Amino acid sequence: MTQEDGDLDSLVRKRIRALRVAQGWSLDELATRARLSPSSLSRIENGQRRLALDQLVTLARALDTTLDQLVETDTDDVIVSPMIDSGHATMRWPIRAEPGMTVMRQRMTTPPPDNPASLRAHSGREWLVVLSGVAVLLLGNRRFRVETNQAAEFPTMLPHAIGTAGGPCEILGIFDREARRGHNADKKS
């Protein structure tokens, strides 16, 4: 085993323990969820038992994480610069850990459309928070007023649109791959 392998081994063991503690679980609770004996789990966490791949998969599932996240070591590139679209007053940041997920900041200056035919529907989910001002979110035939520091989450298969309520507002949104694709298609039409 190389020094690098030993570092990874130690890192994974620390993560297992840290995730267990963060969940508020005892050794017994995680051991039950992972179908291990508490003594085996203790020896895994303390480095007294060899880590087997099948145990790592089971522990990752029990801890509600992925094997990739449990063994990830790449932390060199943590800063993400925005992609700026000045034509649409947006800034976008991809989320590397979740390919297809995007965070977008947008300044809005117009109210949502009056015509229900202008509402768009597409696959996906969106989450947004109003950073400043007041936004109006149209979902189907419902109208929601979303104030500063309030958030909204919805499936984008509902016809929807967002705009301002009487003045400029800024929103920060998180879009899954399908929602982002739907919005990109809307911009092109």
**How much is the pLDDT for 7?**
81
User: In the structure, how many helices (H) and strands (E) does the chain have?
Assistant: 6, 9
Alpha helices, DSSP H only, in 23-98? 27-34, 38-46, 53-62, 67-71
**How much is the pLDDT for 1?**
44
pTM (two decimals): 0.57
Tokens coding 101: 């997920």
Per-residue pLDDT tens for 64-105? 888 888 887 766 566 777 788 888 778 887 776 666 778 889
Per-residue pLDDT tens for 30-75? 999 999 999 999 999 998 988 888 888 999 999 888 888 888 776 6
**How much is the pLDDT for 162?**
93
* Among candidate residues 115, 157, 165, the one with its CA nearest the CA of residue 137: 165
pLDDT at 156 over 70: yes
**How much is the pLDDT for 67?**
84
- % of the chain residues with pLDDT over 90: 39
